[in-house]
Amino acid sequence: MKVGLLTGGGDCPGLNAVIRAVVQSVHNDGGSCVGILEGWRGLVKGMSRPLEVAETDGIIARGGTILGSSRTNPFKNADFDIPAVRANFQALGLDALVAIGGDDTLGVAHRLHKDFQMPMVGVPKTIDNDLMVTDFTFGFDTAINIVTEAIDRLRTTAESHRRIIVVETMGRHAGWIACFSGIATAADYILIPEVPIDIAHVAEVLKRHRAEGKNYNIVVVSEGAEFPDKGTTNIAAETDAFGHVRLGGVGNVVAKLIEDQTGYETRCVILGHLQRGGAPSAYDRVLATRLGLGASRLVLQKNFGTMVALSGTKIIETTLAAGVAASKTLTMSFYEEAATFFK
Ligand code: F6P
């Protein structure tokens, strides 16, 4: 069997571990692998490279993706790009394609399978942990550890200057990263997209924590958090090929309002792409490897239109249709537990 692999959308730590697992499994079965470069753009433009087992040595410890990634959506200019995708797939002599990505990348794989019967298998990934069906995505654990380390560092400078530091995390329209890293760092308040921002309450809690003896505060805000009736704070007006706005900057707005309402000196730190960079955690390496092995099984069984997912501790198989049906916001019981500390 000749199996193509591509990584699409925002990169995240653990992608290379999936690639390694698929290449090894297919090799063990007597097949070969081809890496499609830069996500769906590589299939539109015919950019690829052979992938041998020897080339995957050591990549488990590397962040990013050795194949490159992009947010190319071949269905945006479908009249030109979909025929190109199909022609390049054929020209490469592929029997299957493993698409490793979030809801956008997997959504394209789903449509190519549904509309053109192309042999697709998906592997879910994202630091945002906002994919349906799978309990956790690899990349998320690494991201929350990066945020945790950053906040642990910010705490000492906040404390020295008796300041409030507002830390803005990624996560798009889901509060997973903000909530988990906020719990892990005992943040004074956590703001998430799922709950409208109530600055008066934030200020009240911060002042109470000061009155109780604390002389600095940490507030974690997710980039997708919204003020009532105001929508998200966006970096740019334009959207990407999948129609997503670029979020960012809500932390600055929150910091200014907090300073105005509390009188305490406040600073904002936007962690941005730091959260996606660097080596994957051990947990993410293991999860990504297991998902890669699971995806290879589906490919070798010719079980297409499917994807792997994590359910509890088990790697399960589901359909691409189920995986991309909706995105997964934060399970509110986690936020209720977090909110015990800022009631
Ligand atoms: O989906 C992953 C993610 O990092 C989001 O948390 C963030 O909003 C977005 O990607 C940033 O995208 P880009 O890398 O295109 O700026």
Q: Ligand 1 centroid vs 240 CA: distance in angstroms? A: 11
pLDDT digits (tens, 9 = 90+) for 71-109: 999 999 999 999 999 999 999 999 999 999 999 999 999
Please write the tens of the pLDDT for every residue from 240-283.
999 999 999 999 999 999 999 999 999 999 999 999 999 999 99
Mean pLDDT confidence for 51-76: 98
Kindly report, as residue ranges, where domains of CATH 3.40.50.460 are found in the chain.
141-277
Question: CATH assignment of 141-277?
Answer: 3.40.50.460
The 3-class secondary structure across 110-127, one letter per residue, is HHHHHHHCCCEEEEEECC
C-alpha 33/C-alpha 26 separation (Å) is: 7
Check whether 236 has a pLDDT greater than 90: no
- Mean pLDDT, the chain, rounded, equals 97
> Ligand 1 test: best mutation among 127, 129, 173, 327, most atoms within 8 Å of CB?
127
The CATH code of domain 2-138+280-323 reads 3.40.50.450
Q: Is the CB of 10 under 6 A from ligand 1?
A: yes
Asked if the model's pLDDT at residue 226 lies above 90, the reply is: yes
| 128 a catalytic residue | yes
Q: How far apart are CA 156 and CA 43, in angstroms?
A: 48
At 307 the pLDDT is 98
Mean pLDDT of 188-210: 98
Choose one of 128, 140, 240 to mutate for the ligand 1 pocket test, by most ligand atoms within 8 angstroms of C-beta. 128
> Rounded CA gap, 20 and 27, in Å?
11
DSSP 3-state of 313: coil
Residue 171 in contact with ligand 1 by CB distance below 6 A: yes
Over the stretch 143-156, which tens digit does the pLDDT of each residue have? 999 999 999 999 99
At 300, the pLDDT band (50, 70, 90 cuts) reads very high
Q: Is the CB of 11 under 6 A from ligand 1?
A: no
Q: What pLDDT, on a 0 to 100 scale, did the predictor assign at position 237?
A: 81
Quick one: pLDDT at residue 339?
A: 98
The amino acid present at 299, given as its one-letter code, is V
Q: Whose Cα sits closest to atom 10 in ligand 1?
A: 10
CATH 3.40.50.450 domain locations along the chain? 2-138+280-323
Task: Write down the pLDDT at residue 290.
Answer: 98
172 CA → ligand 1 middle, Å: 7
Q: What is residue 206's predicted lDDT score, i.e. its pLDDT?
A: 98
Pairing of strands 314-319, 245-247: unpaired
Nearby residues of 116 by Cβ (< 8 Å), 6 or more positions away: 82, 86
Percent of the chain with pLDDT over 90: 98
Collapsed DSSP state (helix, strand, coil) of residue 101: strand
Nearest by Cα to 103 from 312, 307, 277, 292: 307
What is the pLDDT, as a whole number, of residue 238? 87
pLDDT of residue 211: 98
